[in-house]
Structure 1
């Protein structure tokens, strides 16, 4: 039995903690032959998955224990295996393994080399001292909570480590602030032509950031524990863009009415309202795109998504707002 790693050892390679008492089977093996092998070899009761490989041990699929037990005896493993297998690269550390368990909510992962040859397995018992009944969902959730707590202890071991982890993402905010300042200087002549633009620019930025944060928070919640897929990301993006568009139309209409009430010319009022509607829509899109990309690349969207999303939102809002006004003013002057 492998003892759970201490906090300081989570930087160790996962290959130092592999289990090799696991079954590997061929696609042409039947369910009956597999069960006979299991009975004959006396496989550990903690084995949750059976892995299917080719002759060179390349990972081909996985079969959960329940699916194996309920299949007909003459069925081939290749017909019941799950072909899309989430595998753990042999370059991972134990901290990386923690994140993978939390993200996918599986009880075990095969560890593979760069050619996807199976080297061993890692299961949740590596990270927990407690004995859990894996047939009860509540206890399974307890496992992931324990893993998450231990990972957070590593991440937050000291204020200096927390700063090192979080500060690079704040550079996105710093970079966007400088970029926005440069853009404002570039459109200085446009701002000078219509003082109302400067008055409503802060409103445009505030609306964009609010929608971006809302969209990002919802996206992070939806992505938590989900497998990364193109279809999931596109569905989320489509839903959020439509929602943000309606929010943009509503807020843009309010801006138009407010601008007209303050004596702004109808053309400029319509331009500001339209650009704010576009900015709010783009903000909603950024709120989904950024967390989805971070999730797909195994970055923590809870920490990184905020600064990046707000940075992109501010830049796109200023460009849409000021460039639209510049075009409108040039048309009016002509």
Structure 2
């Protein structure tokens, strides 16, 4: 055991001892110095009654901060150790968007019970956010922001900011609205600090505002914030009224969530299965539909082999190179698929660049095909002593690599054009389809030139 781990174990034992003796004098300085995430790690290393005692040492504000650093399952586990009265106090101190995210994963009856126990203003904020789909800008925004009217001076804004800052999610931007609550400008904290106190806010605010509609998809919001390097972005309705803001920490969560979702689709498993430890039957149930689809497509491979049985009987050596042809085609298709998916996700591939990426990957397929086919022609000729067999295998590989590369490029582009998530063109699907294409080309070539192979 390392010295660091030994100190960590001793500290945990001391925490348990302090909890047994109810020694707040030992625990309070420790809790005050730790980040909420680290406090959460201590909580989950404790067991049984120690957890309840530990939460008893935390006030509602600290538990609220702790919950905001946890995943949904961990949040619910912490709430299970609290009374309803303390739970309501904790929820009143959570930011509205985090509370809405938590409620979105709970049973409706429990949600209504907790909403009734909360302060009316806080409950109304959460209800307003629950109205929006969770994967939209409205579902990700928070209502804790600072906005001022366009009649304010810099001094009035700073005074107002001092009052509102403790409850705001971020104070780096102050949003300026008119009498109808329409967003007319934004000013940074830096601009406020360097401006003269009697300056009207309209003179220093930035009027070319980048805002997102309330129904915009969360992935598009993340792209916008990445493009402009914002710490927060305002959310507006159809009439440009300010509804809330989305902060960069929520966008990071979106990027992680979308990346996990894309990886899941590319692997032909469901999003929930990216949680490694799941029930075996639940995991199998989610995989079976995809595997059955791939199985049906794979039956095409068996049909091809059956159709070319006579060719294989005449030249048994053809079977030696069948796995290589299929494998190489699947590999090059998967490479192109990964490149296109990445380009679409990053915005580098747009509709006006479809033909450019098709030409690029087509040329890449030709180059790869020529290099690999020349190499395999030489190897097969030397090993089998039959140059015609080498030409058939090499010629087949040239065509299959070109087809595989184009298939891995065209399929996600078509899906994107049809407004279907291109990640559904998963690696296993592309590989299975390319198996069918490659074997059809390979044995078609062999049958066409069978007289030279016998």
What is the Cα deviation at residue 2 of structure 1? 5.9
Quick one: distance in 2 between partners of 1:121 and 1:210?
A: 51
Kept in 1: contact 2:332–2:405 (CA 8 A): yes
Question: Aligned-residue CA RMSD in angstroms?
Answer: 4.4
Corresponding residue number in structure 2 for 1:68: 208
Aligned to 1:266: 387
Q: 1:223 to 1:163 in 2, by over 3 A?
A: farther
| Secondary structure, aligned partner of 1:14 | coil
Displacement after TM superposition at 1:203 (Å) = 1.1
Does structure 2 conserve the Cα–Cα contact (< 8 Å) formed by 1:209 and 1:314? yes
Distance in structure 1 (CA, Å) of the matches to 2:330 and 2:421: 22
| Aligned pairs (5 A) from 1:5-154 | 5-6=100-101, 9=104, 14=132, 17=138, 39=178, 41=180, 43-44=182-183, 68=208, 97-102=217-222, 107=233, 118=238, 125=245, 132=247, 140=248, 142-149=249-256
What does 1:185-264 correspond to in 2, within 5 Å? 185-226=306-347, 229-264=350-385
Q: Tell me the equivalent position of 1:322.
A: 443
Deviation at 1:123, TM superposition (A): 8.2
Aligned to 2:169: none
Q: State the distance in 2 between where 1:196 and 1:124 align.
A: 68
Give the number of the structure whose residues are more often helix, by fraction: 2
Larger Rg: 2
Q: Distance in 1 between matches of 2:241 and 2:364?
A: 43
5+ long unaligned stretches in structure 2: 1-94, 107-129, 144-175, 188-204, 227-232, 262-269
Structure 1: unaligned runs, 5 residues or longer? 22-36, 49-64, 70-80, 112-117, 127-131, 133-139
Task: Return the offset for 1:327.
Answer: 1.0
User: What is the rounded CA distance, in whole Å, between the counterparts of 1:310 and 1:294 in structure 2?
Assistant: 17
Change (3 A) 1:270 1:227: closer
How many residue pairs match? The answer is 261
Q: Which has the higher contact order (CA 8 A, sep 6+)?
A: 1
Q: Deviation string for 1:14-50 (max 9, x for gaps)?
A: 379589x9xxxxxxxxxxxxxxx965545348989xx
Question: Structure 2 length as normaliser, TM-score?
Answer: 0.47
**1: distance between equivalents of 2:236 and 2:287?**
31
Is the CA contact (8 Å cut-off) linking 1:219 and 1:291 kept in structure 2? yes
Residue 9 of structure 1 and its aligned partner are, at CA, apart by: 2.5
